[in-house]
Structure formats: structure tokens, C-alpha cells
Amino acid sequence: MQVSQEATGAFRRRRLLIAVVVAALVLILTLALRFIVEKNHIEKLSHTFASKAIQRFDRLFSPLDVAANNTQGLVGLPCDQVRFPLVEKLASLQTVRSIILVDRDNMYCSSIYGSTNLAFSATYPELAVNNQRMLLSTDDHLLKGSPVLLLWTPLEAGNRAGILQLVNIELMSNYLLEPELPWVERVIFNVGEHSLEYGNPLIEKALPSEDEVSYQDASLRYPFSVTLYGPAPARLALLALPEQLPLALLLSLLSGYIVWLATANRMSLAWQISYGINAREFMVYCQPLINARSGECEGIELLLRWHNDRQGWVSPDLFIPLAERHNLIAPLTRYVLTEVVSQLPLLPARSDFHIAINVASSHFHDRQIVTDLKQLWWPANPAPQLIVELTERDALPEVDQRVVAQLRQNGVKLAIDDFGTGHSSLSYLKTLSPDVLKIDKVFTAAIGTDAINATVTDMVISLAQRLNISLVAEGVETAAQAAYLREKGVDVLQGYLFARPMPLESFPQWLSEHQPPGGG
């Protein structure tokens, strides 16, 4: 029972470990998933912000293109004739500070100053020579030092005539480039090598700080781009994780509890036994029964061994009591019967050869043992004598006497296993009238060493002989024990002195190699 409790405790600890591991994995995976989702969300917000900023600037510049195209007809006309139309056009374009007409590389007419005489290629070589359409610069005339965007619309390929619009980009940038904290801390408007940052009137190339990352998107219609600077999405996602912790903990605890419940059966040894029967993990072993006088093998006791692919070898002292408590002992007995019937051709076909099988008293209820023997044993017409062994850890008085009588009518003998160690009672001998008593190995081991147990052994031997009950001594390991038991008149000896338990299919070879001199 102690071994069984330890095994149950081990399974419970394993279930708990699995539940804890699953809960921890769910917690880690949930937080990792939330981290990835949050990181992707922040990246998407940044991309969306940049895309929308590009779209807003495109919409800002689109009317300027239309205005420039509508004004192309004024290029080349005298300034005094076109200035008023330029002023009207300027009034309709609220974002434009000034419109300048360029003809033959001469900036000759301004909507603000009227007639001018400046060389276009010398003043703005980026536009005239480098063929750029946009230029970030500073206003040197109207609002000195303020940022201004020059939008150049040429009339010819040589860039010597066209319309130059000076856009109030500072006002527009303050409206269109406002950051969205925390994922966008700085927004930069880029044209060529120059940049304009929100809140910074200086036109200079913007660089990220040490803890910032950048994302850039460019317009497909105009030669400008927008750069975003802000904390790394991974860092922001990490900072947001504490908010996700309560939900992640709840999911992990729920998962652990579900695993704990789900493994209640699968992680129990009782479930493992049921699975082992179906998976044929159990193996039938046998141990020879030796005639104390002749030394011949006159039978075998069938034993069950279990090699669990998940646990390795499991001791019978562990799984047999558990099988009894969980009503699995009868299926195990049927398993043994099925296996031994399949091996009958390998066993001696003699009526004086005994095959002993352990049967729990619960198997006698509702005549189950009789039904199983009718289905599994008797149809095979076995020649060997079948002995049913009842162990004293069972409640022997519960055995149905009619079942015992029916077994005897069909030639089955009854033995009481481990006599004297369990619920020993002399009434069992009267109630059950067994054919065989098996002396437990505890008493066999006491021969020559333990006076009290040796005395009990002598009393059991004497009692069985008076009642004409055959005796089998288990656990015989020394020649001295065998000699003592033989002298006391014990009929059959069983133990490591003669043979260890062996697979049933190995018994024929053992039998052929261990016949005593003169034995048949």
C-alpha cells in the first residue's frame, strides 16, 4: 500500500509539473504573441502615419501644379501686364507666398515685388542646372530666414523658362507633420539633401538620436519624402506588456487547470494499466514448481510483468494492488489466460503438470471467473491441471462457494496464496476447503534465523498435513531451506534456488535443460 501511495504521489507530482509547465508556456506564448501583435501594431501605425502625411502633401501640391499650368500663358509677357493676374492667382492659393515668372533664364516678374532681374540658374542652380522640381530653402526677402519650399514648373526641357512658386512650407509642416506620441516623436520633410523638422525652423539634414529608429516613405508624384523618428517598436511593445500581464496570467492559470483536469486519468497508473492491456505491454512470466522429493518440475505459476514504454519496468507490488482497487484485476487475469492458452502447445501436455494462476476474490463475483474460463480456458481442452490461487489480501469470505464448487466440478483446484501473512483465519480452511496452501516467502526466509516465524511455519505445515492439504513453499533460495522444508514434508518448492521467473516462451528450453537425473 505504501508503494502504491508513493506511485500515486509521483503521478500527482508529475501532473502538477506538466500543468505548471503548460501554464508557464501559455504565459510566455501569450506575452510573446501580445508583444508581436503590439510591435506590428506600432509599426503599422508609423507606416500609416507616414503614408497619410505623403497623401496630405500630395493633395497640397496638386492644386499648385494646376495653377502653374494655368499660368504658363503669362510667361514671356511684360511684367506690368501680368502682375495683377499673378496677384489674383496668389490670393486663390493660400499656401503660396509668391509666384515668379522665369523667361530665358531671367526671373523677371514677381507677384510681390513686380519687375525683377535675377539670373535663375545662378540663384537656384539646383532647379535650373540639376533639373530638380523642388527645393527647400530659406526666404531671403519677405520673411528672412523662414523655411520656404520652391516648386518649379518648367515650360521647356532646358529649364530656362517656367513658373516658380514659393510655398509657405513652415505653416504647412506645422499642420501636416505633427507627431503622434509615443510611436512618432519627430517627423521630417525631406527634399534632396535638405530636411525640415516639425517645430524646427532650420533647414538642415535631420539625424536620429541614439535611442531612435527611423522609417521613411516617399511620394510617387513629387520629389519629397517623409522620415519618422521614434522609439523602437520592440521597446514600446515591451513597455506595453505589463498591461497584458493580467490577461496572460488568467489564460495561463486556466490552461494549467485544464491540463490538470485532462491528465487526471491519463496521468494515473490505473489509466496506464488499461492502456497497457490494450497495447499488450504486459508479459506473462512463469516460475517452475519443483517436486520436493523427486526434484522434477511438476508445474508453473504464472506471473505478470509490465514494461511500460512511458515508465519502464513497473513492479507487480505496485500495479497489482492498484489494479485490484480500480477493478482492473479481472482484465489482467483474462490477459494472462489468453496468453497461456496461446502457449499451451509449448507446455507439457500432462494431467500431472500444474498451471497456477492468481485470481482475485472480486473475480468470483457474479461467476465472472467461470464465464472467463468457459470462454478462454476450457475451449482449448488443456491437458495440464489448472490451479486458481487466491491471495489473502483479498476478502476471502466474499468468494462465492457455489463458484468454488463449480470450479472443482470442472477439475480446477483452489489454492490460498501467501497463507499466514494477510487476513489469516483458520475459518478460511473450513469455508473454502482449499486443495493447496502456499507458504509465504517471509516464513521460508525465517528458517534457521527467526525462531518465532519458523515456529509458525512448522505449525502451518503440520496443520496442512492434518487437513490433507498440499503445501507449496515460496521463496526458497538456499539449499538449507530446501532441505528443511523437504524434511518437514512440504510437497512443492518454488524459488530462486531452482529458477527465477522467466518469460513463458522460455520455459520449454529451461525444462529441457533442468530435468533431474533419471527424470522424464
Mean pLDDT of 192-220: 77
pTM of the entire structure?
0.55
Report the distance separating Cα 368 and Cα 403, nearest Å: 9
Residue 11: DSSP 8-state: H
pLDDT bracket for residue 10 (50, 70, 90)? low
| pLDDT number for residue 1 | 42
pLDDT > 50? residue 294:
yes
CATH 3.40.50.700 matches 273-505: no
When mean pLDDT is compared across 11-15, 78-82, 110-114, the lowest value belongs to: 11-15
pLDDT digits (tens, 9 = 90+) for 355-374: 999 988 888 887 888 999 99
Mean pLDDT of 208-226: 83
| pLDDT number for residue 490 | 92
H helices within 292-396, ranges in order? 316-325, 329-343, 368-372
Of 209 and 182, the structure prediction assigns the larger pLDDT to 182
Domain ranges, ordered by start, for the chain? 273-505
pLDDT bracket for residue 2 (50, 70, 90)? very low
| pLDDT number for residue 341 | 92
395 three-state secondary structure: coil
Q: How far does Cα 389 stand from its chain's mean position?
A: 46
pLDDT bracket for residue 298 (50, 70, 90)? very high
pLDDT bracket for residue 266 (50, 70, 90)? low
If you compute the radius of gyration of the chain from its CA atoms, what whole number of angstroms results? Answer: 50
Please report, rounded to a whole number, the percentage of residues in the chain having pLDDT higher than 90: 28
Backbone angles phi, psi at 129, to 5 degrees: -95, -45
Report the distance separating Cα 147 and Cα 139, nearest Å: 6
pLDDT > 80? residue 390:
yes
Mean pLDDT of 24-37: 89
Report the distance separating Cα 54 and Cα 52, nearest Å: 5
Report the distance separating Cα 323 and Cα 271, nearest Å: 10
pLDDT digits (tens, 9 = 90+) for 422-452: 555 566 677 778 899 998 888 888 887 766 6
pLDDT bracket for residue 520 (50, 70, 90)? very low
Report the distance separating Cα 412 and Cα 157, nearest Å: 117
H helices within 131-232, ranges in order? 169-176
| pLDDT number for residue 3 | 42
Q: How far does Cα 280 stand from its chain's mean position?
A: 28
pLDDT > 80? residue 347:
yes
Mean pLDDT of 21-41: 89
Contact 320, 329 (CB under 8 A): yes
Report the distance separating Cα 235 and Cα 248, nearest Å: 19
The residues, ordered by sequence, that sit 6+ positions from 184 with a Cβ below 8 Å of its Cβ are 45, 46, 49, 228, 229, 230
Backbone angles phi, psi at 501, to 5 degrees: -55, 140
